Amino acid sequence: MKSHTEYIWFNTQKQREIVHITETVRDAVLKSGVREGFVLVSAMHITAAVYVNDLEDGLIEDIWEWLECLAPFRDDYRHHRTGETNGDAHLKNLIMHHQVIVPITKGDLDLGPWQRVFYAEFDGQRRKRVVLKVIGE
């Protein structure tokens, strides 16, 4: 079994931002030399998500509006008694999930025709990480 680990860093300009990372994930898989296996793409923070969906600007705007509706910014989260103001970012993380596994087949990402991998930042403008962990052979 082979394994390969990389960390990719983000420091988004906006507090909330979606970043397309499919090619970065593919590069890590190529570097790993793994032909058959899994790559785990996992946010290392509790206020950011990793998800797979469509690279289409209108949809990305829809996702932001929808998330704000299901997990809205509010002043009065109990979590804010700690001095934080990002309660909504934790809930947005829970709804979107913080990780995906992409299968690796014949040395490449085994994604459907429209599937792309995204990092969703809910509390940015600071350095944050995603771990890419490849296992297989």
Sheet holding 116-121, edge to edge: 17-20, 116-121, 48-53
Binder of its own copies out of 9, 13, 14, 58 (CB under 8 A): 58
Applying CB under 8 A, does 108 fall inside the site for its own copies?
no
Applying CB under 8 A, does 56 fall inside the site for its own copies?
yes
Residue 13 CB, nearest distance to its own copies (Å)? 21
Residue 53 CB, nearest distance to its own copies (Å)? 5
Q: Give the H/E segment covering residue 9.
A: strand 2-10
Helices vs. strands in the chain: H and E counts, helices first? 3, 8
What DSSP letter does each residue of 35-73 carry, written as one string? SSEEEEEEESSTTEEEEEE---HHHHHHHHHHHHHHS--
Residue 76 CB, nearest distance to its own copies (Å)? 10
Q: Give the H/E segment covering residue 124.
A: none
For its own copies, the binding residues (CB under 8 A) are 1, 3, 5, 36-38, 40, 42-46, 51-54, 56-59, 61-63, 66, 70-71, 77-82, 87, 90-91, 93-101, 103, 105, 110-115, 129, 131, 133, 135-137
